[in-house]
Structures are given as C-alpha cells and as structure tokens.
Chain A
C-alpha cells in the first residue's frame, strides 16, 4: 500500500463509502480525498463511529435530569451522587471481535470501556458483563463462551477492576453472533471531571501508552458489517490487549489529572488516532496538527493510512497546557510509559496530519466528526410478528409433572447459577462489594460516605423479538426492579443496543420500536440515558440475532445498611408477592425449554403498576422490614421461589407456598408477568408490609412461609414437593456441566 494509491470507485466501495457519502466528502474538502483521507472518512463515518442509522431515533431518549452532570456525547455519562462525588459509567459492545477471537475480543472490550471511564478522571471500580452465546452443547458455542469468559477474567483481574456482576443467556439466535457487552463504572470528585476536548492554540498534543502497530486496522468498519463465510480470516482486525499497560495508564493518568497541567484527554479506541484527534478538535472548536513521524511504532514501514487507522490498544491522546510538558512527561516516565509530543493545537479548525514535513491529510475537524451522513432508513414491521402475535398458547397441554418442569428450568443455562462464570472474576477488589454476584443486583459501598450503589445489567432479546416496543420497556423495567430489590433508588441508565443490519427495514423497525419503548420507560422511572452504544450488523449469513437492548442501570442507596439480597434469611419468615400473575406464557423461558416455542406476546408492562410495585418494595426495604427481595422474572414465580430457597451463600431454606388465581397452573408457576417482586419479612412485620403496599397502591398477597427441607408449591389442581438438595443440584450444575 502506498500513499499515492489512486482513488477508484472500487477502492471507495471497499471502504464501505456510498456514492452519496463520497460526494459529501468532496463537498467538505472541496476536492477529491487522497488515500489516507479516504481511510479517515471511512472509519469516522462507519456505523460504529457515526451512529448514522441510529441517530434520528436516539434523539427520542430522555437525557436530562437533576443529577445528570454529563449526558451523551462524551466518553461516558456523569451523575451527581452527593457528598461531592460523581459516578461515571458507560457500556459498550465488543460483539464482532469476540466472535472472531473470543479471548482477545472480550479482553479488549473490557480494556476499551475502562479507558472511557478513567479518561473522564474517574477511578474505575466496577465492571458488569452482559453475555449472549449460542448453545453450549455445541463445540463452537462452548469455545466462544469459554474464550469470552477467560478473556474478561484475564484482562479484568490483571488490570485490577473487579467484575461485580452481569448476566448470561444462551440461544441458537446468538450462535453465529455472540454478544459481549461490558459496563464500567468509576467514581470521581464532582469538580474534577475531565472532558475530551482540545483548546488553546499552541498547546502540545501528547501521545501516551502502547506503541502503534498494524492491529485493528478497520476494526470499526468490521463492526459495521455483517459476517459472511470466512470471518475467521478477519482475525487481524482484532486487537490484542495488555492489561498491565492499561493499569499503568490508569495510575499515570489519574496522577496527572490531580495536577493542573491538562486541558483535555481522550482514549484511542475505535478508529484510534483518527477519532481521538478530530473529536477533541471538534468538541473544542479548534484544530489539531500532528506529525506521524513522531508516533511510537512497533512495526516498520507503516504508511500514514495505517498509523491513522490502527486500533492498537492502551493508547491515550492528551492536550497539555503549554509550558507544563515536562511535568506531564515526568509522570509518564515514572510509570515507564511512552509519552511523546506529536503535535499542537491550532486555531484553524483543521485536522492536519503530517509525515515529517509533508502534509498527508488535511480535513476540517468539525465536519469530519459531526457532519457525517444521517440516515432515516426504511422501516417495515416484520412479517413474522403476524404469526407470533396470533399464536394460541391456550391449547398447549399443561405438563402433568410440574415439579419436574421446575427442575428442568432451574438447570437451563439462562436460569442456572452463574457461579461457574463469576468465580473466575475478582469481584471483591477495592473492598466495596457488600452484595457479591448472585443476587438481583450488585451492591457496592461508597467509601467515606454512608451511601451505596446498586448495579444491574438486563435485557431480554426474546421479548424484544416478539414485541420490540414492549421489549425495550421491559428491559428498563427489569433493570430498575433489580436495583430496587437491592434497596436502591434507580438513578440513570446506559445501554448497548444490539441489532442486525440497519439496511433491512424490519431490523430498523425493531430498533426504532425498542428505543421508543426504552424512552417511555426511562421517562416513567425518571432514569435518564447518560450514553451508550449501538451495535448493528449482528448477523451471520443473513440470520440476525434477537434484537437485544441491554440496559445498565445504576441505583443509589442513601444508607448502605439497607442493602437487600434475594435469598430467604430465616425459618418462619412470611413470604409476600408484590404484583399480580396473569395468564401470560408468551416469550417465556418455560415455553422455550419445555415446549420448544419462542412465540406469543411478551408479558404486558403497565408502567404505573411497575412504579407502584417498585415504590412499595423500596419503601419497605428502607423501613428496615424486608429480609429478602427478589424479582420474579425468567422462569416465573416457581423459579424465583426456588432461587430464594437455594441461591444464598450459606444455609438453604425451604418454603411452603400456596398460589391462588384463575390462571392455568403452568402460567401461575412459570409465566413471566412483569412487575412482580417476592419479599420475605418476619411475622411481626407482616402487617406493616401490607400497610406499605397499600400506601403505594401495589397489589400484595401473602404466599406462605419460609421453612423446612422442601419447597412445597400448592395450587388448584397441583401440589409439588421438591427437596432442597434436588433444587440446588439442578440450579448449581446446570451451567457448569455445559461449560466444563
């Protein structure tokens, strides 16, 4: 590849640039781009970096709120939590790289999101992962799952950021396209948040961290295409992570940010040097001029095109105050990191790239970063919905042995204990983990205060497939319910939206509907969106994944002593259900596992009801009367009750429960009606709990009590008695058998 490569229609097309987009480039430049410039435009205007298909829809999401210090548009969102502190958080996908090379794909996903957090001046203190794999009985599915989990462990453990929670789900629909969504949260003094913007003509632009190689060139473009045969050949577009260097970068950058020497800082993630340079210039309303001859390289013979597009990991770009360069370089020297002045801020608004004395690319920064194409793509309601919405589930036979159904569900990988995964992650570092993985939400204390944070990642692709609008709503509702069950007030969300190709009208319709559902739910719960990530083109050979919006929810506990967990605590406690069970089997795990069906309508979500249930649960927890609280979701009430019995870290406790209602027994036990929470209280507090529920207008029924060596489920026409050991075995070994 030489610089002088002629710009032919084939070359333009191979960069994924349409003829309209090319005309737009000519308009911005007033001339034809050269080869380097074409590469720069192709990555900045890729779907991954430009959000060109999603932008018009994302505008509908609420982003304002009293505690929001920084909404979408920066490296991460920032929320005020009082006591002079702010939390910084974001979620990102690394789906495509994780399919091509599971270990490094997942590892660099962890590295990338951590950089987004400390770039803003926050110390990263927690990670969550939302994972979707193909069936684990299949060797490829097991290879991908094993590699991804090992990659998250390998990077997260070494870099020293605990993985405190997450979720995992398995379906054929992810066999050709796994999902790896990583959430990271950091904490910072409120007045010390750093933004990714350049400023002050003449200020030095400094390159820090790992040397630049040829890895990851066009990674952002790869993430903007569907997979065909031979995706493995794309392995060179996946980067290789170095958690040790990232740890040094965290410490050096945080040390630097405590001094008064910086103007702005951004990590080099997708589209590497290109993206960081033009975005910092654009946000600051200035220009940046850099000289590639000064960029540290680990390979020889790299041309400007390659240096600009490399996605080598563990690199940062920063703008320092003029005259303070020595102090900056001194700190990086202490940490044995490469730090080189590669350019300066200019007044002319241009991103000017030189190689030695010669200008190799010259593009106005603002139009490059902000004036990319925006598409209002065709949308069409998918045909399959006609069939799934009409599916008559009432004619399904009710299984005779409902207890065996429960055992089978508990062992299904989506429901079974995730211990085989999370015990591979350090989830306790920093001494904050008050509630470890394995409950509805992770709870961290905030040192130096009485407060705590509850974190949850949720999303149900099957629901979204069957009704994208409801699926978007349900994802936000479940995430909020989970942090409420932990005793926290939902504050704000981030998200990863994983969909198929936006060039297909049905996919675009799914996307628009899901975002609309999320927006409505976020407004109802008062939880604004602080940022997120869209991952399109999640399909292989024309088969798309389930449309999967994943919500990362953060909740605040004013008093960490109110942290609640899902498992029963003592014999004799009384079990209540907030909410109601309807005749809803559509989209349930039961329907899939037992009947092999993924059809029907997902559970209906009434936002007012959901709010009432959450308010009642939170008030009861804050009143100190709740001994356990657990969201009844995947697998329904029976599964939730079984989890209350056997998921505790210590003793297992049985229960006797009577379920009333006019719905069919399998829907009563395994249906996934929304807005339901199981709580247990001491007998002395039972009346108070009912009073709290009445105050908030939440339905509240007494189901039974904790105790014994069995879970006994009684109802009209059925009675199941399941020994705790059987429940525990099914739940504890379901996933480990598949993974090992």
Chain B
C-alpha cells in the first residue's frame, strides 16, 4: 500500500501530507511530480493544497493540463481512491473528475480559520471510518472555496449521496453563520458518482495531531489506507 502525493509547481501542502503519512500514520508514500506520465505503483492519490501553476487564471485551470493528470483520470476511472484537498479539490473539479466549481469566497477575502464540518456520506474510501453525521474540527485556508453546482446537478448529487461534508456549527447545525465562504448548501466536500474520488476544501493534514489542536482529520487517512490494505 503506497500513497502518491502529487506535486505541481506552486503546490505547498504536499510536505504536510507527507509528514502525516510518514510520521503520524506511518504509511509508505511518495511524491509524484506533475510532469510524470504514470502513477504506477501507487494505490491511492492525494492532490494537496497550494497555488498550482500560480493559479493566476481560474484555480486549477492550468493544473488539469499537467502531464500527470491523464494518468490521474485513468486511475480514478479504474476505481482508484483519489482525494483532493483545497487546491486539489479545485483541480479535480477542473479536470471533470468531480462535479461543480469553486468560486471566490463571498467575503472576497482569503480565509484561514478552524471550522466544523458534518459528515454527510460515509460511503467513500476516505469517510468510512467516520460515524454518521460525525463532526470534524478542521482548518480551511482558501480564497476560492465557494462551492457551486447547477441546480439539476446539485439535485442529482443529493439523490446519489455525493455531498460528503457540510460546514456546520460546533453542535452540528448547518446554518448560514457556519458557512465560511458562501458555498451552496454549506457544501465543504463532494464525491464523484462512484464515490472513489473525493474533494474537500478543508485541510485534513492540519488536523492530525493533538499538539496542533485536532486529530479529527486522521480518520480520512486511516480510511484510505485501510481500504487499500
């Protein structure tokens, strides 16, 4: 079982994922450079946060054309578990692996803060270790995290259980005040139809050690590792 952590030029959360994989959950991992054309040898892929290719254009719009993305799409279509956090989520949407898009926060500013998210779907490799409705205390850090999908897409996603996480209050209520960026229906994370590809704006790697204030992100890592084992 080996986890591949993708690195685009401008990616910056890859070291943090590597740290959690290597030092906290102690699972084999490797970096995958964006110019690679194959992801052979990896059983799970992580697209980390950052500003791939600078994101001077729409977030993720250039990264989807990086050479490695063809291999990522193949891996995902074959059912391989793929998770994108923050910029990784944006890239997965741009690449068409996930529905919807991530727009500029309604406050028009970057937001780095702790939020709570409620687990809406446990039927993915990454969320199977979570309890139904489990609340996670976890950081966000983005300027463009407002989830949007067309009404009919959203209805279909709802019907198929593709909404994986919603922003919520500390006691689990999905309210406007709990929504840090204006996402439709407080959506913080979604999956593809098959459930093997998940994207979320929050940073699970920043919530993996008690010293840093939360270990709520750990089950996502453990779920992925367990699946493949």
A and B bound?
Answer: yes
Interface membership of B84, Cβ < 8 A: no
Cβ of B15 and Cβ of A430 under 8 Å apart? yes
Cβ of A247 and Cβ of B10 under 8 Å apart? yes
Given A158-B51, A248-B9, A560-B211, residue A431 in contact with residue B112 (CB < 8 A): no
Bound complex: CA of A564 vs CA of B174, how far in Å? 33
Cβ of A434 and Cβ of B141 under 8 Å apart? no
Interface membership of A243, Cβ < 8 A: yes
Shortest Cβ gap from A732 to chain B (Å): 14
For residue A150, which residue of chain B has the nearest CB? B109
Shortest Cβ gap from B17 to chain A (Å): 10
Chain B interface residue count: which class? 20 to 34
Bound complex: CA of A422 vs CA of B212, how far in Å? 18
Bound complex: CA of A157 vs CA of B13, how far in Å? 11
Q: Which of A147-169 contact B (CB under 8 A)?
A: 150, 153, 157-158, 160
Contact with A along B1-41 (1 / 0, CB 8 A): 00000000110110110011001000000000000000000
Interface membership of B113, Cβ < 8 A: yes
Bound complex: CA of A423 vs CA of B109, how far in Å? 9
Across-interface contacts of A251 in B (CB, < 8 A): 9
Across-interface contacts of B9 in A (CB, < 8 A): 244, 247-248, 251, 335-336
Interface membership of B206, Cβ < 8 A: yes
Shortest Cβ gap from B165 to chain A (Å): 19
Bound complex: CA of A560 vs CA of B53, how far in Å? 36
Interface membership of B111, Cβ < 8 A: yes
Contact with B along A243-266 (1 / 0, CB 8 A): 111011001000000000000000
Q: Which of A95-140 contact B (CB under 8 A)?
A: none
Q: Which 4 A-B pairs have the closest CB atoms?
A: A244-B54, A160-B12, A158-B51, A426-B141
Given A153-B110, A424-B112, A428-B112, residue A160 in contact with residue B50 (CB < 8 A): yes
Residue picked from A242, A244, A428, A433, most chain B C-beta under 10 Å:
A428
Residue picked from A157, A422, A445, most chain B C-beta under 10 Å:
A157
Shortest Cβ gap from A488 to chain B (Å): 16
Bound complex: CA of A587 vs CA of B110, how far in Å? 36
Cβ of B212 and Cβ of A431 under 8 Å apart? yes
Across-interface contacts of B113 in A (CB, < 8 A): 423
Shortest Cβ gap from B196 to chain A (Å): 27
Shortest Cβ gap from A327 to chain B (Å): 18
Across-interface contacts of A433 in B (CB, < 8 A): 212
Q: Which of A414-470 contact B (CB under 8 A)?
A: 422-431, 433-434, 445, 447
Cβ of A425 and Cβ of B110 under 8 Å apart? yes
Cβ of B54 and Cβ of A431 under 8 Å apart? no
Across-interface contacts of B110 in A (CB, < 8 A): 153, 157, 424-426
For residue B53, which residue of chain A has the nearest CB? A244
Shortest Cβ gap from B221 to chain A (Å): 13
Interface membership of A84, Cβ < 8 A: no
Contact with B along A211-247 (1 / 0, CB 8 A): 0000000000000000000000000000000111101
Across-interface contacts of A424 in B (CB, < 8 A): 109-112
Across-interface contacts of A158 in B (CB, < 8 A): 10, 51, 54-55
Chain A interface residue count: which class? 20 to 34
Bound complex: CA of A215 vs CA of B54, how far in Å? 21
Bound complex: CA of A694 vs CA of B88, how far in Å? 56
Given A157-B110, A158-B55, A434-B211, residue A247 in contact with residue B141 (CB < 8 A): no
Interface membership of A66, Cβ < 8 A: no
Return 29 A-B CB contacts under 8 Å, by A number: A157-B51, A157-B141, A158-B10, A160-B51, A242-B54, A244-B51, A244-B55, A244-B56, A245-B54, A248-B9, A248-B10, A423-B112, A424-B109, A424-B111, A426-B112, A426-B141, A427-B112, A428-B212, A429-B12, A429-B13, A429-B16, A429-B141, A430-B15, A430-B16, A431-B206, A433-B212, A434-B211, A445-B211, A560-B211
Interface membership of A27, Cβ < 8 A: no
Shortest Cβ gap from A332 to chain B (Å): 12
Bound complex: CA of A335 vs CA of B12, how far in Å? 14
Contact with B along A310-354 (1 / 0, CB 8 A): 000000000000000000000000011000000000000000000
Contact with A along B102-116 (1 / 0, CB 8 A): 000000011111100
For residue A650, which residue of chain B has the nearest CB? B170
Residue picked from B12, B113, B209, B211, most chain A C-beta under 10 Å:
B12
Given A243-B51, A434-B211, A560-B211, residue A428 in contact with residue B56 (CB < 8 A): no
Q: Which of B37-62 contact A (CB under 8 A)?
A: 50-51, 53-56
Bound complex: CA of A425 vs CA of B111, how far in Å? 7
Across-interface contacts of B114 in A (CB, < 8 A): 649
Q: Which of B143-178 contact A (CB under 8 A)?
A: 143
Shortest Cβ gap from B67 to chain A (Å): 13
Interface membership of B120, Cβ < 8 A: no
Across-interface contacts of B53 in A (CB, < 8 A): 244
Shortest Cβ gap from A166 to chain B (Å): 14
Shortest Cβ gap from A451 to chain B (Å): 12
Q: Which of A486-539 contact B (CB under 8 A)?
A: none
Bound complex: CA of A160 vs CA of B15, how far in Å? 11
Bound complex: CA of A426 vs CA of B51, how far in Å? 13
Interface membership of B99, Cβ < 8 A: no
Bound complex: CA of A248 vs CA of B13, how far in Å? 14
Residue picked from A150, A430, A447, most chain B C-beta under 10 Å:
A430
Across-interface contacts of A445 in B (CB, < 8 A): 211
Interface membership of B216, Cβ < 8 A: no
Cβ of B205 and Cβ of A431 under 8 Å apart? yes
Q: Which of B190-229 contact A (CB under 8 A)?
A: 203, 205-206, 208-209, 211-212
Cβ of B50 and Cβ of A428 under 8 Å apart? no
Given A244-B9, A247-B10, residue A428 in contact with residue B54 (CB < 8 A): no
Cβ of B143 and Cβ of A157 under 8 Å apart? yes
Across-interface contacts of A335 in B (CB, < 8 A): 9
Across-interface contacts of A245 in B (CB, < 8 A): 54
For residue B12, which residue of chain A has the nearest CB? A160
For residue A447, which residue of chain B has the nearest CB? B19
Cβ of B111 and Cβ of A423 under 8 Å apart? yes
Across-interface contacts of B15 in A (CB, < 8 A): 430
For residue B49, which residue of chain A has the nearest CB? A429
Bound complex: CA of A560 vs CA of B211, how far in Å? 9
Shortest Cβ gap from A435 to chain B (Å): 10
Across-interface contacts of A431 in B (CB, < 8 A): 16, 19-20, 205-206, 208-209, 212
Interface membership of B182, Cβ < 8 A: no
Across-interface contacts of B23 in A (CB, < 8 A): 447
Across-interface contacts of A242 in B (CB, < 8 A): 54
Bound complex: CA of A684 vs CA of B51, how far in Å? 50
Across-interface contacts of A425 in B (CB, < 8 A): 110, 112
Bound complex: CA of A560 vs CA of B208, how far in Å? 17
Interface membership of B139, Cβ < 8 A: yes
Shortest Cβ gap from A104 to chain B (Å): 15
Residue picked from B10, B206, B208, most chain A C-beta under 10 Å:
B10
Across-interface contacts of A247 in B (CB, < 8 A): 9-10, 12, 51
Shortest Cβ gap from B137 to chain A (Å): 10
Q: A158-B55, A247-B12, A431-B209 are in contact. List 12 more A-B contacts (CB 8 A).
A: A153-B110, A157-B51, A157-B112, A158-B10, A251-B9, A428-B112, A428-B203, A428-B206, A428-B212, A430-B16, A431-B20, A447-B23
Shortest Cβ gap from A267 to chain B (Å): 19
Across-interface contacts of B139 in A (CB, < 8 A): 428
Bound complex: CA of A418 vs CA of B227, how far in Å? 43
For residue A250, which residue of chain B has the nearest CB? B12
Contact with A along B52-78 (1 / 0, CB 8 A): 011110000000000000000000000
Bound complex: CA of A631 vs CA of B39, how far in Å? 53
Bound complex: CA of A428 vs CA of B16, how far in Å? 10
Bound complex: CA of A245 vs CA of B20, how far in Å? 27
Cβ of A428 and Cβ of B141 under 8 Å apart? yes
Shortest Cβ gap from B90 to chain A (Å): 14
Bound complex: CA of A347 vs CA of B9, how far in Å? 39
Bound complex: CA of A560 vs CA of B210, how far in Å? 12
Bound complex: CA of A336 vs CA of B34, how far in Å? 12
Across-interface contacts of A423 in B (CB, < 8 A): 111-113
Across-interface contacts of A422 in B (CB, < 8 A): 112
